[in-house]
Amino acid sequence: MAENHVALLLTPEGWELLSSLPPYDPSEALSLGRSLREEGHSPALVAAALTQQRLRERAAAKFGPFAQQMLFTADGLEQATRLTVSAHHAARYAAAGVTKVADLGCGIGGDAVALAGLDLPVLAVDRDEAAAALATINLMPFPHASVECADALEIDLVARGVDAVFADPARRAEGRRITDPEQWSPALSQVLALRETVPALGVKVAPGIDHAALPADAHTQWVSVDGDVVEAAIWCGPLAPEGPGRSALILRSGAQGPAACTLVDPSTTDPSQPPVQVDPIGSPEDLGSIIHVPDGAAVRAGLIAHLCETLDARPVGPRIGYLTGERLPDEATAPFVRSFRLTEVLPLRLKALRSRGRELGIGRLEILKRGVDVSPDALRASLRLSGQESETWILTRVGDKAKGAVLVVVCGPRALDAPPAAQLVEAGFDALAGGQLEVVAEPGAGRGHVLAARVGRGHVQQRREVEDVVGPKDRLDVAQLVLTQVRAGLGGLARVVEVIEDGRTLGAHDDVRAVGLEFLVDLVANVEHDGEHGCGHAGAQRDGQGDHQVAVAAPREGAAKHSEKHADPLLREDR
């Protein structure tokens, strides 16, 4: 929006018109604009108001309901920090006990709003007159916030009573991103020099910043929101209670508000040093049954080696951020990786992939890729998908020779909540103290699965098909799970869960979920709601209200099945 358009909206007529507009509807925009002009509003004012109406609709993704009371420009909105992220910024300043924060390069005032929302006095500064005007409007609800149109480096911070700074250097010029931090405005070195007078300094930087450009004595944190890496920030002095290093902050939207998880590698104390590289697997035959896809923030933060150690995993290829192993993530690590069960390894050849799509009736295909020069959209178009089934493919380089391959995976672990009809397997459970109850899940004739209860290796006690649990594409192979009740050493009755394969006990624990995490199954208690197929991490399904354990498990698979030796890649790979 041009500067004069901003000025038009700041007039009484402009503000009244903007406030009267309904929520943005693209199908009604033309007719609304025509009717407003017919009412006597100038074309320039109508254009400014309708543009702002559209920007507010887009801004709701970053600012929620607050967007309807704010003003934006297209560039300012694109560069503004999301409210969920700026709230975490503000929390650092509040925890550090600072008394006044200067937001240098405030733009439309997104971070200043979050700081002022915690009752911190804020001085917001931007040299762009239009941006400063918008920030003034957006900060109007906060009397302890002020805005100045000035060069950020010309502000006398000490004289203004500032004891903390948040800086957001301009990283674009003529619509292009600037990758060299010394070409930012102001340059990163100039911003970092402010620590000589104000040690409490935070700097928003590009997620792709070279680690060598980071100050060795600061803490740099990369942030992702719902899987998208949105920023990195350098925190200095009292704003970095973690001490020097690198970390990843993962924010996930949820019904109860955003959830936040932080991953820190305690062995990294100098963020400017290059991340430790882990040797990849030697060949496709070394692939484990599980593929982990780390969150982009963890990858950018150089935490792959730390995740490999935690998961007992290795990269699938040289400098590839996909990991493979046999261990599922524990509760603390699960937010930072998306885990899959590997089912097949295919050559990266168009003819073979097209044939698979046709034979399996694949119509929906999720494609993840790293390290190969293949466009997922172009590949989907080339495959001519037309079926009803779905699959997930990971396109990447595998082994130390970095051959291109397609890893066919399923959301893992597969999990299934037992619906009310499945509760029949509980019959006589209490009478089995000291005995065994075996639950078998196998493909049913229709869309559901057959659940059967056995005592030990005896005959089937009960058998009934459970309908509409999951679609045919998600049918489980035959899997066996033995639930055993034994008397505890102190006389109490405890339930111990054993996972048995080929007559061998693979694990036992009195916590049913702990066993599930170990063996790629999600074991659930008696559930009182409709069954549904879960595709999250183990342990993500809800516990039921019953006292008895009913479990339906996906089979534990060993090393992945390989369809054939790797051939030349489908498209030219990165060199």
In this structure, are residues 327 and 337 in contact, taking their beta carbons and an 8 Å threshold? no
Three-state SS annotation for 423-469: HHHHCCHHHHCCCEEEEEEEECCCCCEEEEEEECCCCEEEEEEECCC
* pLDDT score recorded for residue 65: 84
Residue type, 225: V
CA angle, 110 then 112 then 113, to 5°: 65
When mean pLDDT is compared across 7-11, 209-213, 254-258, 278-282, the lowest value belongs to: 254-258
**296 pLDDT higher than 80:** yes
- Please, which residues bridge with residue 222 across strands? 232, 248
- Alpha-carbon torsion (382, 387, 392, 398), positive or negative: negative
Nearest-angstrom CA–CA distance, 99 and 94: 9
Helical (H) or strand (E) element with 263:
strand 259-264
Kindly state the greatest CA–CA separation across the chain. Answer: 87
**236 pLDDT higher than 90:** yes
Predicted structure pTM score: 0.70
Helical (H) or strand (E) element with 377:
helix 376-383
Question: What count of other Cβ atoms lies within 10 Å of the Cβ of residue 414?
Answer: 24
- Count, residues in the chain: 575
Confidence band for 400, pLDDT divided at 50, 70 and 90: confident
pLDDT in tens, 33-65: 999 998 998 999 999 899 999 999 999 988 888
- Please, which residues bridge with residue 409 across strands? 342, 392
More confident: 285 or 545: 285
CA angle, 538 then 523 then 453, to 5°: 155
Residue type, 102: A
Q: How far is CA 92 from the centre of its chain?
A: 22
When mean pLDDT is compared across 120-134, 308-322, 494-508, the lowest value belongs to: 494-508
* pLDDT score recorded for residue 258: 74
pLDDT in tens, 435-490: 333 333 334 343 333 333 333 333 333 333 333 333 333 333 323 333 332 222 22
